[in-house]
Structure 1
Amino acid sequence: MDQGAVETGGPVAWPDRLSPGALLAAVPRSMVDEATEVCGVDERPPGGRLPPHVTAYLTMALCLFPDDGAEEVARKVIGALSEFGDRDTAWEPATSSAIAHARERLGRDLLRETFYRVAGRPVATAGTRGAWLRQWRLMALDAFGLDVPDSPQNGAEFGYPNNGRARSARPRARVVTVVECGSHAFVDAEVGPWTRSRTKMATSLLISISDDWLLLADRGLYSFATFSAATRTGAALCWRAPARLSLPILEVLSDGSYLSALVDPAIRGREREELLDEARSGSKPDPAAAHVVRVVEYDVPDHEGPEQIRLITNITDPGRLTAAELAGAYRRRLEDATTGRGPGSLPQEAGTVLRSTVPDLVHQEIWAYLLVHHAINSLICQATTRTDAGPDRVSLPRAVDIVGRTATGTAAPSP
């Protein structure tokens, strides 16, 4: 069997069905054109310059070929635009200088606006394996960093990581996303400087949350304010608690989990004890000050010894969702993160530095990466759902390689 095939026990799903045409379909030109109008970018620049939609697709293609020069990438993909129905090809050859000027004309916001139009809703269906747990759609908050070239402008815009001893050699952008666990596709994102709090960035994304979601999050995204804001959306939550978080036992439940209370850390002393007493009595405290939560604790093997995981959830009734189900959902999310299909996995090799030396183009490039990531994972999800295979069975790097090879004409067309 070809190593790119997905064994399903029945039909076989071939990632080779991915192609530039499918990628273009995942980011329709109509949505690029809408974003162009919203951002006020000239749709027909004078003098045969690259138009916005071509520059947008070219910028996305630069993410697929991080080691190639801009002119080489242009040669690989611009022909695909006319092959897949784009007849507006009356522009000058795409030299490095022309591409640089075209990206400057595009600005930082056009691809962000395109992302919001393309990725505004989940893509998994009821038939997608791993997308649902009982009646809840599995979703996650995630945060990661991307290194950018060291220039004075980028340093001032994004800031440098600092490990307490020395400053990093390169500035880093912070990205916080909402990701669909079943498809691994981003549905919302926020891009900002490394110096901006990831919990505050996560809070700004909560407007996209639906009340039929079970939203997972790691301990680095927990704050009382962020958890409170997420609770107000009506969504079910399952977040890993930081080790330092105090979680007093109020009542042990039938499945081994227990009820506890999250109290605003600004509240101390007697007022805090009164809130805990109120929670112990079965009353619901003022949600602005405290939340009754359920805690699931378990150990996982680690090379340095067992590591304790503490999950906090607003699903306080074990009959609605058991401790084992909550632990299983969080475990699958951790496995995604370590196998290259998790929320922080982008179509680039680890350690790759972005191309752009000025902040506007860094933002543009990051939104291009997010679009490509969403598009490829959406295509994988659609293909595997039709064959009843889980999207986890297809390697994201393998799919990126397929798209790259079909863009250059070296992959045989699908039958």
Structure 2
Amino acid sequence: MAQGSVQSDGPVARPDQVSLGVLVAAVPRFKVDEAAAVCGVAEQRRGGKLPPHVTAYLTMALCLFSDDAAEEVAQKVTGSLSAFGVWDAAWEPPTSSGITQARKRLGRDVLRETFYRVAEPVANSETRGAWLRQWRLTAIDGFDLDVPDSPQNAAEFGYAGNDLSRSAFPKARVVAVVECGSHAFMDAEVGPWSRREKTMAASLLPSISSNWLLLADRCFYSFAAFSAAAQTGAALCWRAPTQLSLPILKVLSDGTYLSALVDPAIRGRQREELLDETRSGVKPDPVAAHVVRVVEYDVPDRDGQERVCLITNITDPDAASAAEIAGAYHQRWEEETANGQLKSVLREPGKVLRSKSPDLVHQEIWAYLLVHYAINSLICQAATGADIDPDRGSFLRTVNIVRRTATGTAAFPR
């Protein structure tokens, strides 16, 4: 990438791409306008300094400069104010209060709707590290964000811990689906700390694509969740919780074995009859059970060895070997990388979000997800063009370049 944001022998992105223009390129104006129209705010204050689309891009810019007051961010990124096409050069940049009021008018849903319209897989067939054979590697996981300790935020999001020992700030929970190869968030759900990750994931699983291999840790397993994901036709590779019963139906040539995930409501004789039929080759009703392949292996840890047990609906060893399945599962850590990029690079370690009301917290989180998506889209496209793994791209260096070049150069679309 230009200016060293991806390590390669030559530039693989234009210098003008590595600027605040990356937001406009990845988050097109027409999609922001569509989202605003769907949310009923498209026509509000069209003649003012901060119409909906300008407020949306400015809110994203606030995520690039989390240390700075809103007014200072506006000073940095607007450049020539007439470039907005909604004021003349004689006007002053908006005040922090004016930006806050514009954000309130924009509401909590416009940037969420924009994200849903924008976020999609970034890696193509040539992107290194993005695929296992024909399957796009994806993962689902969650993270939390500290929000300002206002009464409204406390009521909406809640604290971690309990009354005797609770977190210093209220926490918002985010559960997201990430493309492993690019680290790009493709879908997400935002909610209060009290909502479990498994519960929040339920709304994301039905929308996964049939050509994905979805990776998930053991905390996401339930029969209902696995069923919802399997019904999409996607390949799945989930770590099994330790208490999950996995009867051996058939040992395969590579040492893995077939088992059955059975609806926990089915018990006793009915369960045994179902397993006997499945052993004899009868395909079970997916409402009642799923045949899965079990891949088990040990990994070293500080206490010696840890047993990893994976369940996958790729039941044919010729379709993906045990080693390929195990290697793919450990790509799940790419989601942890994505989470860390947002929490520790964009937002910076220990930082609290700036929004003091729940609506603006939701808006700010979706803005962070959009900025993260835009930057990783650029890194992935540049790395693919240079035929290197996007993992070799530096998210931090790219963010720093965007921050440096944003000052005085931004030109939001009219």
One-letter code of the match for 1:244? Q
SS across alignment from 2:202 = helix
Query: What fraction of aligned residue pairs are identical, expressed as a percent?
Result: 70
In 1, distance between residues paired with 2:284 and 2:334?
A: 36
Deviation at 1:115, TM superposition (A): 0.9
Correspondence list, 1:42-57, <5 A: 42-43=42-43, 45=45, 48-57=48-57
SS across alignment from 1:137 = strand
In 1, distance between residues paired with 2:3 and 2:332?
A: 25
In 2, distance between residues paired with 1:294 and 1:131?
A: 23
In 2, distance between residues paired with 1:278 and 1:165?
A: 52
In 2, distance between residues paired with 1:226 and 1:80?
A: 51
Deviation at 1:239, TM superposition (A): 0.9
Is the alpha carbon distance of 1:305 and 1:68 closer, same or farther for their aligned partners in structure 2, counting shifts above 3 Å?
Answer: farther
Provide structure 2 residue ranges, at least 5 long, that are not aligned to the other structure: 410-414
Corresponding residue number in structure 2 for 1:229: 228
Is the alpha carbon distance of 1:249 and 1:165 closer, same or farther for their aligned partners in structure 2, counting shifts above 3 Å?
Answer: farther
Contact 2:136 2:211 in 1 (8 A): yes
Contact 2:3 2:11 in 1 (8 A): no
SS across alignment from 2:368 = helix
Is 2:86 the partner of 1:88?
yes
Is 2:55 the partner of 1:58?
no
Deviation at 1:303, TM superposition (A): 2.4
Contact 1:224 1:263 in 2 (8 A): yes
One-letter code of the match for 1:188? D
Corresponding residue number in structure 1 for 2:394: 395
In 2, distance between residues paired with 1:171 and 1:118?
A: 29
In 1, distance between residues paired with 2:259 and 2:81?
A: 57
* Residues 339-369 of structure 1: CA deviation (Å, up to 9, x unaligned): 8777987722233211111110011001101
Contact 2:341 2:395 in 1 (8 A): no
In 2, distance between residues paired with 1:31 and 1:81?
A: 23
Moved more, 317-326 or 160-169: 160-169
In 1, distance between residues paired with 2:306 and 2:268?
A: 31
Corresponding residue number in structure 1 for 2:412: none
Deviation at 1:167, TM superposition (A): 2.5
Contact 1:179 1:343 in 2 (8 A): no
In 1, distance between residues paired with 2:210 and 2:60?
A: 33
One-letter code of the match for 1:93? P
Deviation at 1:5, TM superposition (A): 5.0
Corresponding residue number in structure 1 for 2:249: 250
One-letter code of the match for 1:281? S
Deviation at 1:116, TM superposition (A): 1.3
Moved more, 369-378 or 23-32: 23-32
In 1, distance between residues paired with 2:308 and 2:342?
A: 20
One-letter code of the match for 1:317? D
Structure 1 runs (4+) greater than 6 angstroms displaced: 339-346
Moved more, 246-255 or 66-75: 246-255
One-letter code of the match for 1:37? A
Corresponding residue number in structure 1 for 2:300: 301
Corresponding residue number in structure 1 for 2:70: 70
Is the alpha carbon distance of 1:236 and 1:345 closer, same or farther for their aligned partners in structure 2, counting shifts above 3 Å?
Answer: farther
One-letter code of the match for 1:248? P
Correspondence list, 1:57-136, <5 A: 57-79=57-79, 86-90=84-88, 93-119=93-119, 121-136=120-135
Is the alpha carbon distance of 1:44 and 1:78 closer, same or farther for their aligned partners in structure 2, counting shifts above 3 Å?
Answer: farther
Is the alpha carbon distance of 1:403 and 1:46 closer, same or farther for their aligned partners in structure 2, counting shifts above 3 Å?
Answer: closer
Deviation at 1:15, TM superposition (A): 9.3
One-letter code of the match for 2:277? E
Is the alpha carbon distance of 1:318 and 1:164 closer, same or farther for their aligned partners in structure 2, counting shifts above 3 Å?
Answer: farther
* Residues 166-206 of structure 1: CA deviation (Å, up to 9, x unaligned): 32222211212121111111121111122223223222113
Corresponding residue number in structure 1 for 2:204: 205
Is the alpha carbon distance of 1:57 and 1:141 closer, same or farther for their aligned partners in structure 2, counting shifts above 3 Å?
Answer: same
SS across alignment from 2:112 = helix
In 2, distance between residues paired with 1:339 and 1:204?
A: 20
Is 2:189 the partner of 1:190?
yes
In 1, distance between residues paired with 2:344 and 2:108?
A: 22
Corresponding residue number in structure 2 for 1:372: 371
* Residues 48-74 of structure 1: CA deviation (Å, up to 9, x unaligned): 442111111111111111111111111
In 2, distance between residues paired with 1:390 and 1:81?
A: 39
Contact 1:251 1:258 in 2 (8 A): yes
In 1, distance between residues paired with 2:94 and 2:408?
A: 19
Deviation at 1:99, TM superposition (A): 0.9
Deviation at 1:392, TM superposition (A): 0.6
* Residues 259-295 of structure 1: CA deviation (Å, up to 9, x unaligned): 1111222333333333222322222222112211111
Is 2:173 the partner of 1:174?
yes
Moved more, 195-204 or 32-41: 195-204
* Residues 20-40 of structure 1: CA deviation (Å, up to 9, x unaligned): 123221111111111122212
Deviation at 1:12, TM superposition (A): 5.3
In 2, distance between residues paired with 1:82 and 1:225?
A: 54
Equivalenced residues, count: 406
SS across alignment from 1:294 = strand
